[in-house]
A and B are shown apart, each in its own frame.
Chain A
Amino acid sequence: MANSSINLTSLDFDSLKSNLKTFMKSQTNFKDYDFDGSNMSVLLDVLSYNTYLNSFYLNMAISESFLDTAQIRDSVVSHAKELNYTPGSMKSPKALVTLTITSNDNPTGIFEIPSGTTFSGFNANGTFTYSTDVNHIISSTSNTFIFSNVAIYEGTYFNDSFYIDYTIENQKFVLSNFNVDTDSISVQVIENTGANSAYYTKASKLYDLTPSSNVYFLQAAANSLYEVAFGDNVFGNYPQNASLINVSYRVTSGTDGGGISTFFLDKDLGPFNRCRASGTVQTISTSTNGANLESIDSIRFRAPRSYQAQDRAVTINDYKTLIIDTFQDIKDVHVYGGQDIPGGTKYGTVFIAPTTYSGSPLSTQRQQDLITFLNTKKIINIQNEIVNPDYIYVVPTISSTVDYNTTTLSPAQIKTMISQSVSMYNTKYLQVFNNTLRYSDFLTYIDNSDNSIVSSQVSFQLYKEITPTLLGNQTVTTVFNNKIKPGTVTSTSFLTEDGNTYQITDYNPNNDTFVRDTTTATYSTINKSPIIYLKQITTNNNQSYKKVGAIDYATGTITVQNLNVVSFLQSQGIRVFVLADSVDIVGVFNNIIEIDISAININLMAKT
């Protein structure tokens, strides 16, 4: 039976044309629709193509209309703007330096380092320029001027000027440069041909704003640019007609310019201070905490949550959203209440564990900034406390069976491919809070490295690096938060105050307390007396064991008392190794699970 209706659900050309042909079957006037050379077929081509284009554009247009489905950055940014969310800009890495200036003929005894003074430094990505953000002025009675802890930021300063013109409807003030660090924006408004000049401050909310408030609003513009906007003379002042707006800001390279530890002063500051001067630069802290432009996925994730938080820190998600939204250098943050800590309950305290893009802990200054920021958002009787992330490193030992008949790759190449897969898994699933290393997922990644891998087995050794203060008697506790296999605790060597070299262990052959657990089907090993020993390894023939602490195998807690370390011998601290007693490695609280890519063991066996 002829089908006289057109099926409108298809989106591809062939289906559309097929639908039109089906429709044409219902009439007898023109029958050549099914022959490629016919005029009718050409007409159907055109109709199908037109429908195809329309459906494509319609699909794109509708997709771009929603935050969840939009693909173009400008669309996502525009939707985020409706939620009062400004996408994060590039952030300059920051370093602290001490500048020592020697000037023999300074007439005033005062020396100034002006804002915008540039320094150079280089890393693997190239040479980068750092700048001071404020003026530094000190006086000295000697010929030496020491500027301590001067903050320098990667990037150089630019200035955009605009004239307010009331004849332009909806005038925009879009900054002309990409890669602006919005934290560095300074807005000066000059009115009445120079009679009035004022610096406007940034406002993100309408609270407390009056018609005379000198504030500007920062918002995202098209093409990853930013624009400043002014009030409407109800919420914030709108500058007078013909006012001059000077917007100064820093343009940065983001994370590329981080990790620099040596800086050089770019120019002689003598002429500026009307004297001769020479200077040396000493680095106090390496440049860290840079960030790149916020990605589309990140905007899509954060914008609705930022709106949901309503600028208050009440729930865990409020904390996360506020912190990540405000501190661009923080990559991820884990927040948990003190009531959730087993054995160490601390009611009324919220613990905040931030990680940075550079991987280094948040600097003390930034931690203080974070606490100060949260003090205005938190519930009155809640205390906020920052804890550093606690890394648990995983060393996988991988045994794979390979069918060499199905591949031309050498064993070394297969090992490289497995190593790359592990690295990919590490980047995709780990290195953030609250993530678990799933045994089966991990195996799937390894098995998919190459078609020749027919099966794999993995065992996980965990380690944490503890860094007790040198030359001090102290108790050190480290928690793996994963079940530990009894008898598997070892460590790197360290020298103690008695002049001997020791390792940490839970196994003492002179007092073997390990027995088989016959009550379970697995006959697993248990330790009747879970004790931590210091094993002396100064001489191989003189191994003695000293009882120094305890271990809880269920929680993975190892406590070492009266530890007095003089120096670490094999790493930057003491690495405590254990074997996990479960197939999945779980990260809780401030734990971050990370695979130590450099230490992976891979064994290949040929399929028989």
Chain B
Amino acid sequence: MSRADSFTQLSDKSEQFSDFLVNFNSHPMTGALGKITNEASVRRSIMNLISTNLGERLFQPNVGGDVNKALFEPLDQIAATSIRSAIFKTIQYNEPRANIIEVTVYPAVDVNSLIVNVIFSLINTNIPISINVVLKRVR
């Protein structure tokens, strides 16, 4: 998908992207299905992509960050680099609304986790947005 070289800043109130909440919660006042928009929507989408394993999505075997494969890998820079590459690619291929600025993954040995930090901007803005994800064993 080709991306615009120049763009017009949108007002915060413009609803360019919209999605429902992952837990299907309703709006507390109106009772309508809850909604996330623009930055929140893309942020949620990237979180979804990172936490999706390859083959998990029906009939779409190439979608997902596939971080689960690193579960039994040594907690070192090699595993971190591999995961960074997978996350970078999945956002690049599957999330055209995000311009990736930087993806960093580093091992947090003390807490047996990997810290993932994605910095991106929306396709029609130049404001950097940061997502931090902590990957750790849950049991």
B-binding residues in A (CB < 8 A): 13-14, 29-32, 35-40, 42-43, 45-46, 48-49
Distance between Cα atoms of A36 and B58 in the complex (Å): 12
A-binding residues in B (CB < 8 A): 15-22, 35, 41, 44-46, 48-49, 52, 57-60, 63, 94-97
Return the chain A residue nearest B48 by Cβ: A37
Assuming the contacts A30-B35, A45-B60, A46-B58, asked whether A36 and B49 have C-beta atoms less than 8 A apart, the reply is yes
Cβ-closest 10 pairs across A and B: A37-B45, A37-B49, A32-B19, A36-B94, A13-B59, A49-B58, A37-B48, A38-B19, A31-B18, A38-B45
Known: A36-B60, A37-B49, A42-B48. 13 other contacts (CB 8 A): A29-B18, A29-B35, A30-B35, A31-B16, A31-B18, A32-B41, A35-B96, A37-B45, A38-B48, A39-B44, A39-B48, A45-B59, A49-B59
Distance between Cα atoms of A37 and B94 in the complex (Å): 7
A43 contacts across to B, CB distance below 8 A = 20
A14 contacts across to B, CB distance below 8 A = 59
How far, in Å, is A24 (CB) from chain B's closest CB? 11
Asked if A48 and B58 sit within 8 Å, CB to CB, the answer is yes
A38 contacts across to B, CB distance below 8 A = 19, 41, 44-45, 48
Assuming the contacts A37-B94, A45-B57, asked whether A32 and B48 have C-beta atoms less than 8 A apart, the reply is no
Distance between Cα atoms of A39 and B22 in the complex (Å): 6
Asked if B17 and A31 sit within 8 Å, CB to CB, the answer is yes
What are 30 A-B residue pairs whose CB atoms fall within 8 Å in the complex?
A13-B58, A13-B59, A29-B35, A30-B18, A31-B15, A31-B17, A31-B18, A31-B19, A32-B41, A32-B45, A35-B94, A36-B57, A36-B63, A37-B46, A37-B49, A37-B63, A38-B19, A38-B41, A38-B48, A39-B20, A39-B21, A39-B45, A39-B48, A40-B19, A43-B20, A45-B57, A45-B60, A46-B58, A48-B58, A49-B59
Return the chain B residue nearest A46 by Cβ: B58
How far, in Å, is A428 (CB) from chain B's closest CB? 38
B41 contacts across to A, CB distance below 8 A = 32, 38
Distance between Cα atoms of A39 and B20 in the complex (Å): 7
Distance between Cα atoms of A14 and B60 in the complex (Å): 10
B18 contacts across to A, CB distance below 8 A = 29-32
How far, in Å, is B134 (CB) from chain A's closest CB? 19
Distance between Cα atoms of A355 and B36 in the complex (Å): 76
A32 contacts across to B, CB distance below 8 A = 17-19, 41, 45
Specify which of B41, B95, B97 lies most central, judged by the most chain A CB atoms within 10 Å of its CB. Answer: B41
A46 contacts across to B, CB distance below 8 A = 58
Distance between Cα atoms of A497 and B17 in the complex (Å): 104
Distance between Cα atoms of A26 and B18 in the complex (Å): 14
Asked if A30 and B49 sit within 8 Å, CB to CB, the answer is no
How far, in Å, is A16 (CB) from chain B's closest CB? 10
Asked if B58 and A45 sit within 8 Å, CB to CB, the answer is yes
Distance between Cα atoms of A221 and B24 in the complex (Å): 51
How far, in Å, is A27 (CB) from chain B's closest CB? 10
B20 contacts across to A, CB distance below 8 A = 30, 39-40, 43
How far, in Å, is B22 (CB) from chain A's closest CB? 5
How far, in Å, is A45 (CB) from chain B's closest CB? 5
Distance between Cα atoms of A30 and B57 in the complex (Å): 20
Distance between Cα atoms of A39 and B52 in the complex (Å): 12
Point out the residue from B17, B21, B46, B57 that lies within 8 Å of A42, measured CB to CB: B57
Distance between Cα atoms of A37 and B58 in the complex (Å): 13
Distance between Cα atoms of A42 and B57 in the complex (Å): 8
A29 contacts across to B, CB distance below 8 A = 18, 35
Asked if B58 and A30 sit within 8 Å, CB to CB, the answer is no
Asked if B17 and A36 sit within 8 Å, CB to CB, the answer is no
Specify which of A14, A36, A42 lies most central, judged by the most chain B CB atoms within 10 Å of its CB. Answer: A36
Asked if A35 and B95 sit within 8 Å, CB to CB, the answer is yes
How far, in Å, is B67 (CB) from chain A's closest CB? 14
Asked if B97 and A35 sit within 8 Å, CB to CB, the answer is yes
A45 contacts across to B, CB distance below 8 A = 57-60
A48 contacts across to B, CB distance below 8 A = 58-59
How far, in Å, is B60 (CB) from chain A's closest CB? 7
B49 contacts across to A, CB distance below 8 A = 36-37
A30 contacts across to B, CB distance below 8 A = 18-20, 35
B44 contacts across to A, CB distance below 8 A = 37-39
Specify which of A37, A42, A43 lies most central, judged by the most chain B CB atoms within 10 Å of its CB. Answer: A37
B63 contacts across to A, CB distance below 8 A = 36-37
How far, in Å, is B119 (CB) from chain A's closest CB? 17
B59 contacts across to A, CB distance below 8 A = 13-14, 45, 48-49
Asked if A37 and B95 sit within 8 Å, CB to CB, the answer is yes
Distance between Cα atoms of A182 and B17 in the complex (Å): 71
Distance between Cα atoms of A14 and B46 in the complex (Å): 23
How far, in Å, is A546 (CB) from chain B's closest CB? 81
B35 contacts across to A, CB distance below 8 A = 29-30
Distance between Cα atoms of A32 and B41 in the complex (Å): 8
Return the chain A residue nearest B95 by Cβ: A37
